[in-house]
A and B are shown apart, each in its own frame.
Chain A
């Protein structure tokens, strides 16, 4: 496809998305996922039309009931006259790159209702690309005019944590009777949760799980206070010293649900509303969005710079040639980096003068 074609295509898609055309929205998300020609312009044009949606991130271990809960959440939102967008992220095979995306199976309550726009995405193993792609897809849904957007992902690794952090409110799902779940929470998910849902609350062990959670959340608050005393910066989870940690004025809530029956889902929605109101009135919403935008700029800059450097590497005969030198102990990685970077540094310093 020529550049001119891509431009015309992108314009049509933007008009389509703003017009409420489902096909255009679907096609836009595909372009975002594929990083197809013109996708940057597409997302750029949509940005001005975003900011209307409340974004909820749902995470938890496999089998905790995320998809089922998301299905019921979407239904209740629809009952309240709201339109819903869902992005469900599943892992992809590191070997073939393929994936079976099964979250859609659970979306049984919203049959034929096009006002629930459900989209499966796979982690295609791209460098920091998953959170970029989901973030951009959220923008597309937002610009389309969805009132609520739900992002669902397995809470397994840093990639996934980055994804849910693109949400305004983060919901962490736990099921009773599995000590492992609470173990997993220690590994970084605990810090980002605004609302904790103990799903399958009709099973044994609910009380234990709830009290375990309460205890851990209590400890989390304690740790935060100590940290703040020592470093004065709160919980700096972000990579570049951005304070994107938890909001200390909000006490994380615990909600019990039975997603298969729809029990407790209204409570959950009320809690989500409370949290969003809190975000708005406390100024935290603004702060989070700023942190997110800063992170986004940095991420895009990093990946653009990485591409630029790949080109630069080619001018030095490609990475293999440089590796050969290092391998033969003729030089070392630090020297190589200096050699590749020095001309760029010169360029920047010269333009400063």
Chain B
């Protein structure tokens, strides 16, 4: 009784990384997550990988969604993953990527630790469902 009711809410960081000024997609997904009942922290534009890591660690998010349209995913995303590992935050953070990523790169990103890559035209409900299903149990 005295422990009270646990109120688990899924926390997500929606991040824009690197020199990429297009965040319409990131904003739309942030809203979709909010409407799904998640708490969404939006990073703002032009963030460095270190900032994303700092935010993900401090905010203790369950899900890190990286939106990237600039084509620099092969450089930037491994840096983010490396940083998360440094703080022991990689294991229980679900990392998803949204944006334009060629098929060959998808495989590489997934090997590096990205759970899923969502391309243009993915229905919001699909992404929300994926997060609900794969959110780390902790």
Q: A residues engaging B (CB < 8 A)?
A: 22-23, 26-27, 29-30, 33-38, 40, 92-93, 96-102, 104-105, 108, 111-114, 117-120, 122, 124, 126, 303-304, 307-308, 311
Contacts and interface: CB of A to CB of B under 8 A. Distances in A.
A247 B37 CA distance: 41
Given A23-B89, A112-B51, A311-B1, A100 B60 contact: no
Interface residues of B, number: 36
Interface stretch (B2-10, B73-81, B108-116): B2-10
B7 A35 contact: yes
Q: Which 8 A-B pairs have the closest CB atoms?
A: A105-B44, A98-B34, A26-B60, A112-B50, A30-B60, A98-B37, A97-B37, A96-B37
B34 A307 contact: no
11 contacts: A26-B60, A35-B4, A40-B4, A97-B37, A98-B40, A101-B40, A101-B41, A104-B55, A104-B59, A118-B59, A303-B4
A170 to B, nearest CB: 24
Contact of B44 (A26, A104, A118): A104
A36 B2 CA distance: 12
A99 B39 contact: yes
Contacts of A35: 3-7
B3 A98 contact: no
Contacts of B51: 111-112
Interface of B: 1-9, 11, 30-31, 33-44, 48, 50-51, 54-55, 57-60, 87-89
Contact of B48 (A33, A34, A101, A111): A111
A330 B38 CA distance: 43
Given A38-B3, A120-B39, 13 more contacts: A27-B60, A36-B6, A37-B3, A37-B6, A96-B37, A98-B39, A99-B34, A100-B30, A104-B42, A105-B44, A111-B51, A112-B50, A308-B1
A146 to B, nearest CB: 12
A304 B7 CA distance: 16
A97 B9 contact: yes
A124 B36 CA distance: 14
B59 A119 contact: yes
B1 A23 contact: no
